[in-house]
Each structure stands twice: as C-alpha cells, then as structure tokens.
Amino acid sequence: MCRLHAAAFAASEHGHHGEADFVRALHEGGDVLVSLCAFEESALVGHVLFSRVQAEAEGVSLAASALAPVAVLSDHRRTGVATALIRAGHEMLHAQGIRIDFVLGDPAYYGRFGYTAGRAAPFESPYAGPHFMACALDSAVPTPQRGVAIHATAFARLA
C-alpha cells in the first residue's frame, strides 16, 4: 500500500509526499474506521481510508470520521475507482453508526459525494476554511450552530 500512495501522490500536483507515513500512523494510532482497496486482477490500484474524529455538536458527542487519503494510480483515474471506494466507505461508516464525515479537499470533486463547506462551517477545526467540508451520513443529522471536530493526531503530520 505504501507504494500505491507514493506513486499516486507523486503523479498528483495536489499531493503531499507523506501519505504512506500518514496511513501508517493512522493504523498505529488505532484511528482507522474503514480502509478499502481496489484491485485490477491482482494489482492494487486504489485505496481510501476513513479515520476517527472526535466531534461535538452543541456540546453533544457526534459519531464522526474523516476521509483521507484517497489514492488511485494515475492510469486508473477517471475510471470510477475512487467513486466506488468512497461510496462503499460511506455505506460501511453508516452501518457503524458514523453520522458525519469530514474531508479537506476540492469542493468541485467532493461536492458530488454530498460534502459541503456549509455543513462543516460550524465545527471548530484547524482545517476550517473553504476546503474543509462535511457530509451527513445520516439524514437526521442537523447542522449545528456550534461544534468542534478533532482529527486523529496523525493529521498534524500533514501540515
């Protein structure tokens, strides 16, 4: 999996170069909720990971996660690999009782999965801004007036 992340992010102008270490740190910290891989024949071509987030909305604990990273080999991009992985991840998270998922990324890309900056805006986070978005995995999740989202400590390594 480390090779996949190194190759996928080396070919991306948006990538960092520490994703493999980031994934390892999330696993070592026990923060991984869902980790899914895509294969073509026996070759690993994609990976998505969702990790635990400590979230509160109006002072009440809220089961939450964060999507990061998504990695797909360059010759398999725009083929639906990432879309299938993210959607399957959302279903698994929902089955685990996770109610909201956060992501830091391109609104044009992640918006098609239901992520919006407006949903994340009430949550205090060091990642707050137009690229910090959230997606309700449970239709009954209201948008709070005030909240906080604390990502796994491995996220600090990406800054």
pLDDT computed for residue 2 by the predictor: 60
pLDDT tens digits along 1-51: 667 656 656 655 555 557 788 888 999 999 999 999 999 999 888 999 999
**Which of 6, 12, 138 shows the shortest CA–CA distance to 65?**
138
Segment 51-65 shows an average pLDDT of 96
**Which of 115, 89, 93, 92 shows the shortest CA–CA distance to 102?**
115
pLDDT computed for residue 78 by the predictor: 82
**Lowest pLDDT segment from 74-78, 106-110, 144-148, 149-153:** 74-78
In the numeric block, which tokens belong to residue 154? 């491995």
pLDDT tens digits along 97-127: 999 999 999 999 999 999 999 999 999 999 9
**Lowest pLDDT segment from 3-7, 68-72, 78-82, 121-125:** 3-7
Residue 72, Cβ density class (10 Å: 0-12 exposed, 13-18 middle, ≥19 buried) = buried
Q: Are strands 132-136 and 147-151 parallel, antiparallel or unpaired?
A: unpaired
